[in-house]
Chains A and B, each alone.
Chain A
Amino acid sequence: MTGVTKDFLQGDNVIRALKETNFTAYEGELVGIAGPSGSGKSTFLTILGGLQKPTTGRVLLNGKPFSELDIKEKSKIRLENIGFILQASNLIPFLTIKEQMLLHNKITKSKVNQPWMDELFLKLDVEKLKDKYPNKLSGGEKQRAAIAKALYHQPSVIFADEPTASLDTNRAYEVVKLLAKETKEQKKATIMVTHDERMLEFCDKVYVIVDGVLNEKLVDNLVVKS
């Protein structure tokens, strides 16, 4: 994104939730976005994902203009190129884990990619859960299923907003590690918002937002890791 800002009207005041921001993510990169609550993390992510329009500036996706498109076109691009992993899990309550994947095929009228689905199930260890409904799964299982769902349609970009919020530390590590691994293997650009500093150690790059200002943060352990 280039020159992106976002203003909100609160009462009579205009609040600039996101100061002028330039940001690029590359394939194979897991990018961590940290920052205190209310700093603009979600605003940043949702503008990237086309869920709201920037006040100024533009967002490009795979080098093509994205933020200017109309709702319908954006919707289509999200369906094909973007995977969302949300804090509150993006699973549909009345579909089994397997059906969550099939839904994408139904909507896009595409063929079921059975080998890839099986592979994802194995990798994310949800094989045994595939015929269960989300309310029968634990928090960690749900989050792993959500990741499987976000990866199934092979998007080029994955947005994760607090994917570990509902998990205990071990589960959280597990989930983020998986995300990092898939990002590498599948050459995705993954952008993960988290308030949990411990999760940042698996990221290739870390940015911190404070009061709407985005800055890259160079952390020692990142250097060590790479």
Chain B
Amino acid sequence: MFSSPNRVIVVLGALTLTLAWVLDFGVIQPNRIVAGTGYGLGEALGLVASVTFSVGMVMILGLGAVASRFRYSLLTAGLLLLLLVLPWGLALFAERQLPGSSTYARTAMGAGFWCLLFLPALMLGECLQRLRAGRGLALILLALVLTSWTLAVTSGDIDSLSILKEYAARPDQFRAALSDHLALALSAVAISLVLAFVLALMMVRRVSWRRPVFGVVSFLQTVPSLALFGLLIAPLSALSATFPLLQQLGIQGIGWAPALLALIAYSLLPMVRNTFVALTDVPPTLLEAGEGMGMNARQLFFRVKLPLAMPVILEGIRVTIIQAIGLTAVAALIGAGGFGTFIFQGLGQAAMDLVLLGALPTVLLALVADAVLSALASTMRSAP
């Protein structure tokens, strides 16, 4: 393995280098709505920085192509460095190209910038896999990169960045969106976890429950989100009109109530499926052994079945949370709040930066949830 060239690194490296030069690194916009002018790598960063980057990238390409004992360690270091300095590239771009005169002018990340983020990140993943590095190293590298990006954001050097300008215009709304988004998604997942657990237990005990329950939850999963949200509006407004108490609780045709209901409905399938499979997949010999040694049903459930089922249940929670975070964004259409509000407002006003302010945090939330729950599940699996 070590003696042959790594084609993945070579291909991705070449792609990075090409796209970085062909696509715009950054964009300067005169104001919020008007499309801006793009700047290529050379113009954006100047000769010194862009040549340094290119030489570095060629070296990475070369390391991928030749056999060397430490190449994956070296590659990891090089790619990490690139990801660390990337946000400061934006600062450099702003300093060089942003006209000082206009307070409305703003910088935006170009397609080339995104390529410089994603392709090296993929290469880094490949290197870590080749090094057979554990989750620990990956998390440390991630923490380093996040620290550098946070520093760049808080330094004030890239305040001209469009998405940060959008944020600066509504920090309170942003915080409210974050808490709404999390509250809605997490409470839906928590409620569906309890429901699914009860359902799964009933299905384990009664065979006759299995088909109908699976039938209903799979059906719910098939209904498109927009349709389900829409279908809930009429009955809920009718209910709330009939019972004033519901209205006082804030339950109406639009808002958090239909959103929560729909999210719970969607969460049931992955949760029920995983919990049921996990609980029924425990090898019967283990249960027999435990029972034969004198464990009672309670002990058997809490000490054997549940711990053995836990990784699969966690996997169900992971899938459900990711799905709920995405669907919560859609729920903004029926007035449930969250990051979707920015997305749809932005789309309505053709303000792309506002769309980004909604979409990027949504993606980030999903990725973080994925990382955290995967890590949790894998620690549970390796040291049960």
Specify whether A and B are partners: no
Residues of B in contact with A (beta carbons under 8 Å apart): none
